[in-house]
Structure 1
Amino acid sequence: MSREPNQRLAALMAEAGASNKGLAKRVRETGLRHGRRVGTTHVTVQRWLNGGGIQPETASLVAEALSSKLQRRITPTDLGFPTAASSPVAVAPSYATSLPDTLDVLDRLAQQSLDDEQSSGVLLPESEVNSAVLSWLISHPDTLRVDVPAQRRVGMRDVAAIRTAGQMFMRLDFLYGGGHGHKALRHYFRQEVLPLLSASYSAKVGNALFGAATEISQLLGWTAYDTGNHALANRYLLSTLRLTKAIDDRMMGARILSNMSHQANYLGQISRATQLARAATEGGKGRATPRAMAMYAAHEARALSSAQDHTSAARAMNEAEKHLERADSAEDPDWLSYVDEAELVGEFCHCFRDLGRGPESLRYAERAVALTDPQYARTLGFCRMVLAQSQLLNGELEAAVTTAGLAVEGGDALQSARFQRYVSDFQRDVSSHAGVPAVQAFNTKVRDALADLDDE
């Protein structure tokens, strides 16, 4: 039976000005960048043009090679390789060298569920992260290709829809934890957002579009972090950092570095956390609003507190306060709306707890609980648990157990893997008082709450 010629591949090769030999060479070079040796030759390319089959991973390499040449995102399906689109593809872990490569990596990440084996594993090597951060700090931004011929034209209404969706998913994250909406969010990102980044748009729309896309992408990384899939989160955040270079969005890029510092600190990688926090602060200088700078400084204080650097932590907290005092002097993006006095006080109570300063930790934790809006259920849960730890630090066992019990009764925050660790850490801290009835009742409450969560 004769095969149909692959007209899509032929058309894109013609547009790229790529000969059979030229494309074969590009595919081999692309494979080497991913640590793969492929034997693609001009004969192989001709076989594809004649309608021959192709391995899914090779189809992805062809798409990446032509994306780089054409400076827009090309998928295997665009090339007439429909069977490759649904095939599992290994995710490139590195900071992409070009914008098309970045979009390709994000597309592959968005194919990974939180439970996929490919999305598990270890964080990226520190040397690779440091190289990416340096590149972000010193490299020139991409130049968006505007008004290019494409089947779809993007307008500000499309951008508004993405921003509205981002706000909705962010609210779900605050209320119910990262795992609640991650699946729907990654589907939305892959099906509705990524295709627009390769469409046609004006310079004004393109800048707004990529800004909205980075908000969705970083939220995918953050929700993966909150559920405990740290390898997937790490890759999302690093790729989103690269995405911010498309429009030179230093404020969002610094936010990503700050998020990466937060994750490293949570995982006990204190040196990495401190370096990333400093990079966020330095990267945002002169380009970020005072409110954003307050957030960067607060996360730097968190890392320095974990490092037991009392002097530097105090300096960073003081800087955060000064920045927040000036917050109303500039217009902030919507994604910064949660950064207020309550947020800063909540960060500081963590700092004083980690520094072992009981009275200050207790004072700030009580204030954080009082100030935090209940709509930020997870944040309120964190603050209550730090209050309980602070009360314990000050020798108030009964009060600590009561406070921790209130946090667990909140329920919604339990869907966050990070909150669950706060609870388990507290249980470990009170384990020496296991015979006290209040502690026994608290452990029973935790067990029942987690069982109810499993039954939902």
Structure 2
Amino acid sequence: MNREPNAQLIAVMDEAQVSNKGLAKRLRDAAEQRGMNLGTSHVGVQRWRDGAGIKPETAALMAEVLSTKLNRRITPSDLGFFSQLTPATPPAPPSVGYPSTVSDALSALNGLAEEPPKGPDAGRLIVPDAELSSAVLSWMISRPDGVQADQPASQRVGMRDVHAIRAAAETFMQLDFKFGGGHGHKALRYYFRYEVLPLLNATFSEQVGTALFGAASEISQLLAWSAYDSGNHRLAHQYLTSTLRLSQVTDDRMFGARILSNLSHQANYLGNHAQAINLARAAIEGAKGKATPRAMSMYSAMEARALSNIGDHKGAGRAMNEAERYFERAESSSDPEWLSYFDSAELMGEFCHCFRDLKQRRESVQYAQRAVDDTDPRYVRTLGFCRMVLAQSQLLNGEVEAAVATAGLAVEGGESLQSSRFQRYVTDFQAEVSAYASNPAAAAFNEQVRDALARLDDE
């Protein structure tokens, strides 16, 4: 049977400057330290490079030794293992060209809402740097279009219509937090196409038009986020790019920077860390003087997340300090409603991810515990993420039983989540804890996950 070479494993080994023999020796040494018998040789490593399967406990050990070598967190997913979760070939690069006109952006959004790409793009999304930079630069330097008020149309929109859209956005956002992006995406897509987009071609006053484009952008952003959470990265990216263009209509630099920070979040999740750093920095620079301190804190936190993933301790520390200083100046009265979710617990959640990725064991446990304790239970997915990071942080400290217990609470609380991202947190932890396969607690956790996934599939 022909296999595709494991390009991700090859790339990480090249980055770590480790040979097949060198990696095999590191694996044997790590296994011996744990009382395991692993007879891996350079031949076995070559088979994995060629695309052969691997046992979860071996993948976890490999991720651990390469993490130590590179001084940053590597997961089995980063090494291209468990390919049943990803497509056999990477998706073709999406078009990310910045729409030149408002009508182009609306046409693109209508097309996405009418018939989005089929199936999740769970693999790595490839966006050429030049195309992404062009879109960001266009947003940074383009003049605002302005609202075309009182144009002839058969329908007139009032502020009551805008309030209805914002109420719908709030409802769908709460569903997203509680049940994951896969739950309401289809219904939201229908609402956006048939109830929201037509209003943008109606007649309205300048005040109503400004508010209307802002409300429509919120729905479009939520469609992007729910697609991202569901694992459809191509669709999410296309929504985000078109939504970025909508923010230009009314010169809403704070919301546009939010879209850039979302793009940074997605790029970081997919391992495109250099792009994630640049996108976060573009959000910060593009919103200076236009965004509230709370928003600036969020943008800086995204930069910290990306810098942590490449092991830049100094840069990540600086970005976290900036995020904290901005947050200390935050006043809810000056913030838009869409930013209300970004509270102190959310900031602690961002920081605990940073400390976990930087392998700062004490801080990662400390901040993850604070995030878990302070997160509002209605934010089910956020709480699940924080619990999984706490479990990973406890595992970093060698607290296997505590880590498994924490992860078990996360799985129990997140059983109803239709979230590809949450499932990845769980499977990454499974791979990491499989290095302790002889521990009964680890075996019990794996059984719990299997039962939870089976129940989710039955729903």
The residue number in structure 2 matching 1:331 is 334
Contact 1:124–1:231 (Cα < 8 Å) also in 2: no
Which runs of at least 4 in structure 1 moved beyond 4 Å after TM superposition?
Answer: 116-123
Q: Against the structure 1 CA distance between its residues 439 and 92, is the aligned structure 2 distance closer, same or farther, given a 3 Å change threshold?
A: closer
Alignment map for 1:110-125 (pairs within 5 Å): 110-113=113-116, 115=118, 122-125=125-128
* Alignment counterpart, residue 137 of structure 2, candidates 113, 134, 137: 134
The residue number in structure 2 matching 1:388 is 391
The residue number in structure 1 matching 2:56 is none
Contact 1:352–1:361 (Cα < 8 Å) also in 2: yes
Alignment map for 1:25-424 (pairs within 5 Å): 93-113=96-116, 115=118, 122-328=125-331, 331-412=334-415, 414-424=417-427
| 2: CA distance, partners of 1:209 / 1:119 | 33
Q: Against the structure 1 CA distance between its residues 114 and 105, is the aligned structure 2 distance closer, same or farther, given a 3 Å change threshold?
A: closer
Contact 1:411–1:449 (Cα < 8 Å) also in 2: no
- Name the aligned partner's letter for residue 137 of structure 2: L
Give the structure-1-normalised TM-score.
0.78
Contact 1:289–1:330 (Cα < 8 Å) also in 2: no
Q: Against the structure 1 CA distance between its residues 234 and 269, is the aligned structure 2 distance closer, same or farther, given a 3 Å change threshold?
A: same
CA RMSD of aligned residues (A): 1.7
Identity %: 65
- Structure 1 residue matching 2:114: 3-state secondary structure: coil
The residue number in structure 2 matching 1:76 is none
The residue number in structure 1 matching 2:76 is none
- Name the aligned partner's letter for residue 286 of structure 1: G
Contact 2:119–2:232 (Cα < 8 Å) also in 1: no
- Structure 1 residue matching 2:181: 3-state secondary structure: coil
| 1: CA distance, partners of 2:165 / 2:239 | 18
| 1: CA distance, partners of 2:435 / 2:291 | 47
Q: Against the structure 1 CA distance between its residues 100 and 92, is the aligned structure 2 distance closer, same or farther, given a 3 Å change threshold?
A: farther
Question: Displacement of 1:94 after TM fit?
Answer: 2.3
Question: Displacement of 1:341 after TM fit?
Answer: 0.6
Question: Displacement of 1:301 after TM fit?
Answer: 0.6
- Name the aligned partner's letter for residue 287 of structure 2: G
Question: Displacement of 1:197 after TM fit?
Answer: 0.4
| 2: CA distance, partners of 1:135 / 1:327 | 29
Structure 1 segments unaligned to the other structure (5+ residues): 1-90
Encode CA deviations 1:252-286: one digit per residue, 9 max, x unaligned: 00000000000000000000000001001111110
| 2: CA distance, partners of 1:180 / 1:236 | 18
| 2: CA distance, partners of 1:197 / 1:118 | 30
Contact 2:283–2:299 (Cα < 8 Å) also in 1: yes
Q: Against the structure 1 CA distance between its residues 213 and 197, is the aligned structure 2 distance closer, same or farther, given a 3 Å change threshold?
A: same
- Name the aligned partner's letter for residue 183 of structure 1: K
Higher mean alpha-carbon deviation, 114-123 vs 290-299, is at 114-123
Question: Displacement of 1:143 after TM fit?
Answer: 2.4
Question: Displacement of 1:144 after TM fit?
Answer: 1.9
Encode CA deviations 1:172-231: one digit per residue, 9 max, x unaligned: 000000010000001000000000001100000000000000000000000000000000
Question: Displacement of 1:119 after TM fit?
Answer: 12
Encode CA deviations 1:143-184: one digit per residue, 9 max, x unaligned: 221101100000000000000000000000000000100000
Question: Displacement of 1:117 after TM fit?
Answer: 8.8
Contact 2:416–2:456 (Cα < 8 Å) also in 1: no
Contact 1:381–1:407 (Cα < 8 Å) also in 2: yes
| 1: CA distance, partners of 2:121 / 2:273 | 26
The residue number in structure 2 matching 1:427 is 430
Q: Against the structure 1 CA distance between its residues 358 and 284, is the aligned structure 2 distance closer, same or farther, given a 3 Å change threshold?
A: same
- Name the aligned partner's letter for residue 281 of structure 2: R
Question: Displacement of 1:433 after TM fit?
Answer: 1.2
Give the structure-2-normalised TM-score.
0.78
Contact 1:123–1:231 (Cα < 8 Å) also in 2: no
- Name the aligned partner's letter for residue 221 of structure 1: A
Higher mean alpha-carbon deviation, 240-249 vs 426-435, is at 426-435
Say whether 1:442 aligns with 2:437: no
Which protein shows a greater Rg? 1
| 2: CA distance, partners of 1:114 / 1:386 | 31
Q: Against the structure 1 CA distance between its residues 413 and 302, is the aligned structure 2 distance closer, same or farther, given a 3 Å change threshold?
A: farther
Encode CA deviations 1:314-373: one digit per residue, 9 max, x unaligned: 111111111111111751111101111100001000000000100000000111100001
Question: Displacement of 1:95 after TM fit?
Answer: 1.5
Encode CA deviations 1:290-330: one digit per residue, 9 max, x unaligned: 11111111111101111211111111111111111111175
Encode CA deviations 1:49-74: one digit per residue, 9 max, x unaligned: xxxxxxxxxxxxxxxxxxxxxxxxxx
Contact 1:112–1:118 (Cα < 8 Å) also in 2: no
| 2: CA distance, partners of 1:287 / 1:452 | 47
- Name the aligned partner's letter for residue 173 of structure 1: D
Q: Against the structure 1 CA distance between its residues 316 and 421, is the aligned structure 2 distance closer, same or farther, given a 3 Å change threshold?
A: same
Q: How many residues align?
A: 366
- Name the aligned partner's letter for residue 130 of structure 2: S
The residue number in structure 2 matching 1:16 is none
| 1: CA distance, partners of 2:200 / 2:138 | 22
Contact 1:96–1:102 (Cα < 8 Å) also in 2: yes
